[in-house]
Amino acid sequence: MSSRERILGRVRRALADVPQDDTPYAQAVCRDYLRQHGDHGAEETVDLLAENLVDYRAVVHRCAAGELPGLIAHLLGERGSQSVLVPPGLDESWLADTDVKRVADLPDSTPHELDRIDSVITGCALAVAETGTLVLDGSPDQGRRRISLIPDHHICVVRVPEQVVSSIPQALERLAPGRPLTWISGPSATSDIELDRVEGVHGPRTLEVVLVSG
Amino acid sequence: MSATYLGMPGFPPPSHPAFPSFPQAAREAVRDETLRGNLRHATHTIRAKRAGAVAELADWAALREAGKQIKDHTLRHLDRYLEQVEEAVTAAGGTVHWAVDAQEANRIVAGLVRATGETEVVKVKSMATQEIGLNEALEAEGIRAYETDLAELIVQLGKDRPSHILVPAIHRNRGEIRDIFRSQMSAWGRPAPEGLTDAPAELAEAARLHLREKFLRARVGVSGANFVVAETGTLVVVESEGNGRMCLTLPETLISVVGIEKVVPTWRDLEVFLQTLPRSSTAERMNPYTSMWTGTADEDGPSTFHLVLLDNGRTDTLADEVGRQALRCIRCSACLNVCPVYERVGGHAYGSVYPGPIGAILSPQLRGTASEIDASLPYASSLCGACYEVCPVAIDIPEVLVHLRERVVQGGPVTRGGNRVVLQPAKGHAAERAAMRVARWALTHPGVLRGGQRLASRTRRFHPRSLPGPGRAWTGTRDLPAVPAEPFRDWWQRTHGDGEGSE
């Protein structure tokens, strides 16, 4: 007998005492929890996102669409970045004001090569206000998962208010499970030393979030 | 322990020679003042924060109930959902393996690593791989496993054992961590930076530098998973540092070892656990990084993905009507952080990778109660109930503890290795059972009870303060109750009696 058959057989025998129950799953669980916490307007939801991002040590900037290239140039300059990793489908105009060296993530570029790049700019799939979370789903403006991981400085652009949802239940509704997803809430951190939070371990130690409106 | 101890079992030769019984280990641990200080500091830090994070959600009780129902439903139809997981993961380009026990899981993983031609793997913190002793098994095959979670790294470098589910190095303070890094890092790769201090930020930086080269060159990653979604075949890993993302995305081959109880039926179910897990474990609204992947993706992340579904005692646990609720556990460790026993003795005394209240009900079910440590674990509690209160999936830990105590003392039918067997009552409890038989006889014979009480009252001057023989262990931690000068029933008869007397 294969291990598969053995395990499934054990499960069935273990449940022999349980009465038959064919309630469809949709009715089997009582979901009377909230779809979102509090009733915020679109603008308040964006404010809440900004507040929670800052609470977990992300740096938040807000600007109008026209100001974005200038702001990005400023952020890269301030950081002293010599090179910036760019996902294949990033809006070219975002980088119009900077002459920092752009690096594409090629299929054969190695992790070691990516490790020598100072910054990365991506868009996102959506952001969750209640938890201060950005979700990346590998769309062309975000690129592969590794590019937002290896450089030490990540600039993530969120279009507000349309990319912002209030809560986790609302976020899951909008995401496609088949895509590789990365949920990011602040820069990398650890609670492993005396159960107290310290920022900055393996992921980007600086996370800058640009909330762009209009 | 040589004497019979009526409050806590002492057992014949243990089958886990490495682990003494809980009371024996606890006696050592509570004398370690550094350990007690470290644990007190860490558990108290997190307790207040967790309460705050939970209080932010007005619907916490409803989320907790939904989490419980989702898990109960899944366990009740586990065969169906496991088959669904297999189908979905396979359709998404992954390969599914089934492992009945630790040995088989280790053999599968070692074989998969060998097939890649690699001799090292990077690991994401995972309870399942700790449970099966994967690192040691790989070592025996000439494969080196690098732990990449900061706390696991501290444990691995210190040749230590984990003592907490979430923070395996909770028993170490910052000074001890600095000393371990300074003395051990060079043997494993990049040495600790010159002049490393005990500032947490510097320690985190040292770990970043030490592990970076390992991440960048890694070809094989090994992980567990917090959740597996049956309908989509999606695996979820919740973490903080980014070491998880490194191990899950940079290697060419990813091997995930996952307990069969980690399944949830639908994508939507994550909306419950992604709210309750981070707040319960690190007291954060959301942990810094959560990775979700479904099989393999075109040119993003590993091109080969293996899922090893692990039983290793879980189906035996599922067969116990009361004990099966332990399989709802999502490994948040909130119960450890509030437990007065854990706070004082630490995790090592539990003799398992699952310490604290959840460990006290999980280990004796996954491993059986044959060994000294496993038979003593159901007693490693004051039954105060704080663990049940904070559990985000409402596992009634005290209920299961009492149930397991009963099993240890009285024996009875259990499932081991998929077979129904009848457990013998524990030998160490012979004196306790004899005392209970005498009590039952006396209490059902009023004349005997009356005579005995009077005899006890008249001889009270001669009573010892502790019991001789097998009773000595009982009075080792308790005072023998003082007997009154006059039995209550005599006093009642004398002061309230109707004069007719009962003699």
Average pLDDT of every residue of chain A: 95
Strands B253-259 and B220-223: parallel
If you search the block for the tokens 């290239």, which residue do you land on?
A69
Within 8 A by CB and 6+ apart from B213, the residues are B189, B190
Residues 75-104, chain A, touching B (beta carbon < 8 A): none
A108 burial level (CB within 10 Å; 0-12, 13-18, 19+): exposed
Q: What angle do CA B238, B170, B150 make, to 5 degrees?
A: 50
Q: From the CA of B331, how many Å to the nearest CA of chain A?
A: 16
Interchain contact, A202 vs B229, CB within 8 Å: no
Strands B412-416 and B419-423: antiparallel
Please compute Rg for chain B using Cα positions: 26
Residue B499: what pLDDT? 58
Q: How far is CA B360 from CA B47, B363, B474, in A?
A: 20, 6, 22
Q: Domains in chain A, start-ordered, CATH in brackets?
A: 40-213 (3.40.50.10420)
Is the distance from CB of B447 to CB of B502 less than 8 angstroms?
no
Cα–Cα distance between B148 and B154 in angstroms, integer?
A: 10
- A78 C-beta neighbours (distance < 10 Å), count: 9
Interchain contact, A145 vs B285, CB within 8 Å: no
HEC readout, chain A? CCHHHHHHHHHHHHCCCCCCCCCCHHHHCCCCCCCCCCCCCHHHHHHHHHHHHHHCCCEEEEEEHHHHHHHHHHHHHHHCCCEEEECCCCCHHHHCCCCCEEEECCCCCCHHHHCCCCEEEECCCEEECCCCEEEECCCCCCCCHHHHCCCCEEEEEEEECCCEECCHHHHHHHCCCCCCEEEECCCCEEEEECCEEEECCCCCCEEEEEEEEC
Rounded to two decimals, the ipTM of the complex is 0.97
Residue B10: what pLDDT? 33
Q: How far is CA A46 from CA A36, A70, A122, A187, B403, in A?
A: 14, 22, 19, 19, 50
Please check whether residue B502 touches A, CB under 8 A. no
Of residues B170, B209, B176, B169, the one with CA closest to residue B192 = B209
Is it the case that residue A28 has pLDDT exceeding 70? yes
Q: How far apart are the first and last CA of chain B?
A: 47
Residues 8-67, chain A, touching B (beta carbon < 8 A): 8-15, 17-18, 21, 25, 28-34, 37, 52, 56
Cα–Cα distance between B316 and B416 in angstroms, integer?
A: 6
Cα–Cα distance between B374 and B386 in angstroms, integer?
A: 22
Residue B15: what pLDDT? 40
Within 8 A by CB and 6+ apart from A75, the residues are A61, A155, A208, A210
Of residues A166, A153, A160, the one with CA closest to residue A211 = A160
Query: Using a CB-CB distance cutoff of 8 angstroms, which residues of chain A are in contact with residue B311?
Result: 7, 10
Query: Using a CB-CB distance cutoff of 8 angstroms, which residues of chain A are in contact with residue B166?
Result: 191
Of residues B231, B260, B251, the one with CA closest to residue B122 = B251
Q: Is B419 in a helix, a strand, or coil?
A: strand
Residue B427: what pLDDT? 74
Q: Domains in chain B, start-ordered, CATH in brackets?
A: 19-76+333-427 (no CATH), 79-146+219-312 (3.40.50.10420), 149-217 (no CATH), 429-496 (no CATH)
Q: Nearest-CA residue of chain B relative to A130?
A: B285
Residue type, B151: A
For residue B380, the 8-state DSSP code is S
Interchain contact, A202 vs B301, CB within 8 Å: no
Q: Nearest-CA residue of chain A relative to B309?
A: A4
Interchain contact, A132 vs B286, CB within 8 Å: yes
Interchain contact, B289 vs A169, CB within 8 Å: no
Interchain contact, B232 vs A194, CB within 8 Å: no
Of residues B153, B199, B162, the one with CA closest to residue B178 = B199
Residues 58-87, chain B, touching A (beta carbon < 8 A): 58-59, 62-63, 65-66, 69-70, 73, 76, 78-79, 82-83, 86
Residues 230-289, chain B, touching A (beta carbon < 8 A): 232, 234, 240-243, 245-246, 248-250, 260, 265-268, 270-272, 274-275, 282, 284-289
Residues 140-199, chain A, touching B (beta carbon < 8 A): 144-146, 149, 168-169, 172, 177-199
User: Residues A124-152: what's their mean pLDDT?
Assistant: 97
Q: Which two tokens stand for residue B288?
A: 């810094």
Is it the case that residue A137 has pLDDT exceeding 50? yes
Q: Is B56 in a helix, a strand, or coil?
A: coil
Strands B220-223 and B304-310: unpaired
If you search the block for the tokens 């039954």, which residue do you land on?
B383
**Sheet hosting strand B144-147, strand order edge to edge:** B95-99, B304-310, B253-259, B220-223, B120-123, B144-147
Residues of chain B under the 70 pLDDT cut = 1-18, 499-503
For residue B164, the 8-state DSSP code is S
| Identity of the residue in B58, B177, B286 whose CB atom sits nearest the CB atom of A37 | B58
